[in-house]
Amino acid sequence: MQYLIGEDRLAVGPDDPADTVVAAVRAWVEEHVPVGWRDAAGRGGTAAIREVRSRSDYEAWYPTFARSGLVVATWPVAYGGLDLSPVVARAAEEVLRPYNLGRLNPLGLNLVAPALFAHGTEEQRQRFLPPIVRNDELWCQLFSEPGAGSDLASLATRAERATSTDGSDEWIVTGQKVWTTWAHRSDFAVLLARTDADVPKRRGITYFLLDLHQPGVDVRPLRHIGGEVDFNEVFLDRARVPDSQRVGEVGDGWRVANATLSGERQMVAGAGSGGVDRIGGSGVGHLLRLAPTRLRDDPVARQEVMRLYSEERIRDWTNQRVRAQLKAGRPPGPESSVGKVHQGSLNQRIQLMATNLLGAGAMAWIAESPEAESPDYAASLPHEVRGMLRSRANTIEGGTTEVNKNIVGERVLGLPREPDPWQDAPWREVPRS
């Protein structure tokens, strides 16, 4: 069977049955996944793979994965996918699952892509989606501000129309953003900025794609309680955005942003979610491996782990509904907020249980680590302790639990909107901190 087009992309499409696609994926794995990784998967699963495959190894190999189309199998071929149906794509993913082929550039895939599919132009999709799939251009999100977190629509960063030196339309952006995940690693950002201060706050916002490698962009890291860095504050001082990198109509950015926000809530609603480099902790499966003797002999601990396992399965089923929307190129609905509300507290309880199962070992690092005063001391923490510390943010990031409960109440249960006396007032008249 001829299963490749060109060097690496699978020669399958939307009309091929699942068994044909599965056979093609298996053949691709045999030819393109390094034999050492495949042997490790068969020998010991994910843990064994990590022993033989470093992060840098995976990043160097990743373009091969991207060229196959399997990174985003349901996306159209023009954007780096295979145009498979969600059902067939899931069958292909089952073949890949043992090899732990995670997707790089998750903010690009989960935050930027939904907005471009729903509201972007064809030129924008052609320009930005393929590099996201290839991990060539990394993305972050410039939404939250010091005075606009839970009430994001009150943001104050301004974008003003201008004309560039070549005569084209552009925007000049000035303001401050905060809690920006991975800004220090990123090439581009999705940006919300106020373009009209004389209309109600949600109607004067516009959505942009900002190049971070330019004068006027200052990224400053913010260190976590565990010592690591993945958040940043970003200062914008007359940064420039071509009008061709505006997504949606001027003043319609709030509607465009909802596609990004739904994707974000889904992304931070997975097992061990909340952070880069696995600092969010692991799922319930790790608890089962962490202390098998304790779980065998302690019925209380065993019952608690089974409770967490059951909740994790429910969360996964909810997320599957959201992922089906994203893979079909449609923005997810309020299901993403349901998953976010559930997972915020669930992951905190999972990580606390991990430290409980560790017992005294969860505290030993404080006294024993010679690097406790170093900004890099996070590397000395047990994985479970890092996860527990990082999980404290789960009920805040990606929209607080309180905000997401409002979304569920209003959009799922049909409850009245929360009263807002400034709902229809011009933004410049609304009190701000």
**Active-site residue list:** 264
The residue written with tokens 């030819």 in the block is 31
Contact call for residues 114 and 64 (beta carbons, < 8 A)? no
Grouping H, G, I as helix, E, B as strand and the rest as coil, residue 158 is: strand
Torsion (CA) 273, 275, 276, 282 in degrees, nearest 10 = -40
Q: Rounded to an integer, what distance in angstroms lies between the CA atom of residue 141 and that of residue 330?
A: 19
Q: Rounded to an integer, what distance in angstroms lies between the CA atom of residue 118 and that of residue 135?
A: 21
User: Helix 18-32 to helix 55-68 angle, to the nearest 10 degrees?
Assistant: 140
The DSSP symbol for 185 reads: G
- Positive or negative, the CA dihedral 235, 240, 245, 250 is positive
Q: Rounded to an integer, what distance in angstroms lies between the CA atom of residue 274 and that of residue 63?
A: 26
The residue written with tokens 């067939």 in the block is 88
Question: Which one, of 134, 133, 200, 211, lies nearest residue 170 by Cα?
Answer: 211
Q: Rounded to an integer, what distance in angstroms lies between the CA atom of residue 132 and that of residue 112?
A: 9
Q: Rounded to an integer, what distance in angstroms lies between the CA atom of residue 236 and that of residue 208?
A: 13
Question: Which one, of 71, 412, 114, lies nearest residue 266 by Cα?
Answer: 114
Question: Which one, of 75, 70, 80, 78, lies nearest residue 21 by Cα?
Answer: 70
DSSP letter string over 283-300?
-HHHHHHH-HHHHHH-HH
Question: Which one, of 357, 375, 377, 354, lies nearest residue 365 by Cα?
Answer: 377
Torsion (CA) 193, 194, 195, 198 in degrees, nearest 10 = 170
User: Helix 253-267 to helix 335-358 angle, to the nearest 10 degrees?
Assistant: 30
From the CB of residue 349, how many other CB atoms can be counted at a distance below 10 Å? Answer: 14
